[in-house]
Structure 1
Amino acid sequence: MQADTLVEQEETVDAEAPAAPVQQEVAPVAQAEQPSKAEATEPEAKPADVETRSADAEAKPAKRPKSTAKKTRTVELTLTVTGTADGEWQADLVHGTKRVVQGLPISAAAVSRAAKELHDDIAGGIDEVIEAARAQHRTRMEELEAELAKVKAALAELSD
């Protein structure tokens, strides 16, 4: 329960002038904030004291400690290199959220060279994929050569 109260306070003026009561309005106090009987006997803070404390708090703003860490600007680039079992490779490049390059065809040799420049572990993984594609192409080439030999033999029979 909150209640507005008026507190009377006497001011001492000249001895010749009569003392006049001064009324000052006190801010409402929540019931939980009301002092107990033991605390009620303690003298209340004078408004001048409150103003002095407020002025001190405003005069000294909280200072942030200066950081000694170097502020570095980071750049986020995402390079995605994809390849097919046929040995066709392409690259996509994204800067932050903006797509810079999409589906750029690149050679397997360029991918292999770039991987070797980056790191041996990366080069090892990519070389395995490239070698598998080479083996597949060799197999296909041998099949086509065998088929070509059959076609040449059939053509030779027709020519005789």
Structure 2
Amino acid sequence: MGQAYQLNLNNYFSDTDGQTLIYSATGLPSGLSVSGSFISGTPSTTGVNNVQVTALDPGGLSAQTSFQLTVNPMPSTPAGFTIVGVSTVSCDMLSAGLKRVTFTPQYGGVDSSPISFSVVNEMPATPNPSPYSLNLYTDNPSITLVAKRGDTRWPAMSTTG
């Protein structure tokens, strides 16, 4: 809640004729809307939202998908350095049971100290800036993110992709 969110729907829908699709969505939380090919905005309420997206081509053909979007509360005041959220850049289906997720962690309590980021048992610590990409199997999509600023290490969150 209270953090900018953006999802590019063109990563999930395409028209075989290359025509521009028109998107609509229902079930979005307050603060999010569809504009062009993006769901974007800043959610103003927490909770689990059942979102249904429809893509319509100029010929009147349509396709739909649905997903759950969970909006978590923001920490009232981060006590020092912490990961406060994650923005999904893309999520591509590589095979029936494998997705490639690209994401950017969002930090609170940032200063001029270097930040090192890792994913437990998936990605070693790196000082490289985001976005980061991981392959996740759909039967076990949970990961634990860890960030370190200077000498402060925070296991920030577990998330499901």
Q: TM-score per shorter chain, which class?
A: under 0.3
Rg larger in structure? 1
TM-score using structure 1 length: 0.20
The structure whose residues are more often helix, as a share, is 1
- Greater relative CO, 1 or 2 (CA 8 Å, sep 6+): 2
The structure whose residues are more often strand, as a share, is 2
